[in-house]
Amino acid sequence: MSLTVVKGLQSEIFVPVTPPSVFTKPTKPMKEWVVGLATAAGVHRKDQERFNLAGDFTWRKIPSDTPTDMLMVSHGGYDNSDVNKDINCMFPIERIHELVAEGIIAGEAPFHAGFMGGGGNIEKFTNETGPAIAEMFKEEGVDAVLVTAG
């Protein structure tokens, strides 16, 4: 008998479970990396389909040579005013161009990834969207990905 154990007792406080860790170490130094960008900020080209602001697990392939005035945001979950002034706030694509030009990194992925984070169909994100974006970066030979989210 144990005085400290009560059968079926549940916490009144919601205690979410943190998923098990995943961790991949880089295999070469930063100046040899080809870098990709992935953003949950709802970034896409102006000629691509907008995200459904009520929830959308699809994603957009963004060519890295897209001029910033051809990029836009559709996302209903945060204040878009800064990113509407300057897309680099969430999608620092011009900073990545500069790092490549200066030799701080070796190159950038031909395509980056934009999706709309902040909820939606988490199962689809985890089982379909995430692996699809990961596969694109693998095929592009990307060495590291900078993610902006949360």
Partner 1 sequence: MQRAIEKAGVPTICVTALPPVSRQNGTPRAAAPLVPMGANAGAPHDVAMQRGITIDALKLIETIETPGKIVPLPYEYHAQI
Binding-site ranges for partner 1 (CB under 8 A): 16, 18-26, 29-30, 33, 35-36, 38, 40-41, 78-83, 85-86, 88-92, 95-96, 98-99, 104-105, 115, 117, 125-126, 129-131, 133-135, 137-138, 142-150
Beta bridge partners of 63: 111
Shortest gap between Cβ of 111 and partner 1 (angstroms)? 14
Question: Could you give the CA distance from residue 35 to residue 49 in angstroms, rounded to a whole number?
Answer: 25
Q: What is the largest CA-CA distance in the chain?
A: 70
Give dist(CA 56, CA 145) in Å, integer: 22
Our CB check for partner 1 shows the closer of 70 and 89 to be 89
Nearer to partner 1, 56 or 143 (CB): 143
Least Cβ distance, residue 116 to partner 1 (angstroms): 11
Structure tokens at 100: 């490549």
14: which 2 tokens? 């919601």
In angstroms, give the least distance from the CB of 104 to partner 1. Answer: 7
